[in-house]
Amino acid sequence: MNSVFTIPAPSFTNLQIERILKSHFGISGHVESLYGDRDQNLLIKTKKLHYILKVFNVHEKKEIIDFQDIAINYIRKNDSEILVPLTLDQKRIIQNGKTYTFKLLKYLEGEFLHEKAMSSHDYTNMGFFMGRLSTALIGFNHKAAYRLFEWDCRRIDIIKTNLNFIKNQTEKDTILFFLNQYTENVVPFLHKLRMSVIHNDGNDHNILINHKHKTFGIIDFGDMIHSFHIIEPAVAIAYIYLDNRNPFENVYAFLKGYHTVFPLETIELKLILYFMCMRLCTTVTMSAWRKKLFPSNKYLKISEKPAWTALNTLSKKNLSQLSNDLLKNVG
């Protein structure tokens, strides 16, 4: 069965995009390609303004696209200082016999976190920001959030399925170790965890800072789901842990900021590292699956190598003790 994960992202040429912009949006400008996984993302530079043009995967459902806009507007209503990519125009356009959704978005000025050297203070500010985002989403709901989604890291059944695409037995054993840790230490307590709609991709390629190094904006709402709330900060600390010389110092710094704005329950703090590990397992197993389908997609490899490095390091540590240490430092 085809889905946004099995069908290649749109691949319109810059010339095709220029023609579509002029004929359907009344805009003329320079087109630059940006990173994209399931969708095609482009930076549009006109003489006066910049825009982002997103061309959705042909298999993306309309209710998922609408869900993103509704969530963004909800966030803006509750916290106008959180900058999010507002939709300026959207059109369904037939190209090559297929119908694509083209969405023109407001361009957010700023620098992505991965483009700067981050201090412990910066990670705390990042935590403040993500806590504000969670606060702004309180009470939000939408039927599209209840989808079966491959990037929902509580779905260990999906991790197990994608494990079949990893041929190295040592790597398989590493994933199985974390799956067992999750089953033994997390599953018995799942009924105690809060659930909500979450952004689900708060990483350093999606979060923006301004010229004063203040975290202020977030993009890419395509992974939003209704799941365990603790997954929101767990995703963030998973990326903080990657390729970081002082991973736990910075994880603590982020969580202190987040916890200050959006208090986490004791059980959530006890389990968050297990969810962090599940996110890393999701990263490498998703990459293994989709590299088979799209071997030339460089986007799929961005986090894979550092995720394996992190998993190999964490597999040699006592997660229970690490969780107790975290609780002492953050709770």
Is residue 2 in some structural domain?
A: no
Token output for 276: 């962090």
> Which pLDDT score is estimated for 210?
82
- 279, 301: one domain: yes
Whose CA is closest to 103, among 219, 200, 25, 5?
Answer: 25
Last residue in a domain, options 59, 77, 106? 106
What residues form DSSP beta bridges with 100? 93
Q: Residues 35-62: pLDDT tens digits?
A: 888 999 999 999 999 999 999 999 999 9
> Which pLDDT score is estimated for 1?
72
Q: Residues 172-184: pLDDT tens digits?
A: 999 999 999 999 9
What residues form DSSP beta bridges with 197? 226
Domains contained in the chain, number:
2
- 96, 158: one domain: no
Contact 4, 57 (CB under 8 A): yes
Kindly tell me if the per-residue pLDDT of 243 is higher than 70: no
Last residue in a domain, options 49, 79, 106? 106
Q: Residues 252-262: pLDDT tens digits?
A: 999 999 999 99
Kindly tell me if the per-residue pLDDT of 265 is higher than 90: yes
Residue 201 is part of a domain; what is its CATH number?
3.90.1200.10
Is residue 7 in some structural domain?
A: no
In a 3-state reduction of DSSP, which class is residue 95? strand
Kindly tell me if the per-residue pLDDT of 7 is higher than 80: yes
Name the residue with higher pLDDT: 249 or 243.
249
Beta-strand ranges (E) seen in 170-315 are 195-198, 207-209, 215-218, 225-228
- pTM confidence score: 0.96
> Which pLDDT score is estimated for 178?
98
Residue 90 is part of a domain; what is its CATH number?
3.30.200.20
Place of tokens 């297929």: 98
Contact 79, 73 (CB under 8 A): no
- 176, 273: one domain: yes
- 134, 98: one domain: no
> Which pLDDT score is estimated for 187?
98
Token output for 148: 């079966």
Q: Residues 67-125: pLDDT tens digits?
A: 999 999 999 999 999 999 999 999 999 999 999 999 999 999 899 998 888 899 999 99
95 lies in which domain range? Answer: 14-106
Is residue 23 in some structural domain?
A: yes
- CA–CA separation, 245 vs 144, rounded Å? 39
Contact 39, 54 (CB under 8 A): yes
Angle at 145 between CA 139 and CA 148, to 5 degrees: 145
Task: Give Cβ neighbours of residue 44 (< 8 Å, ≥ 6 apart).
Answer: 21, 27, 29, 30, 31, 32, 50, 51, 52, 53, 104
Is residue 8 in some structural domain?
A: no
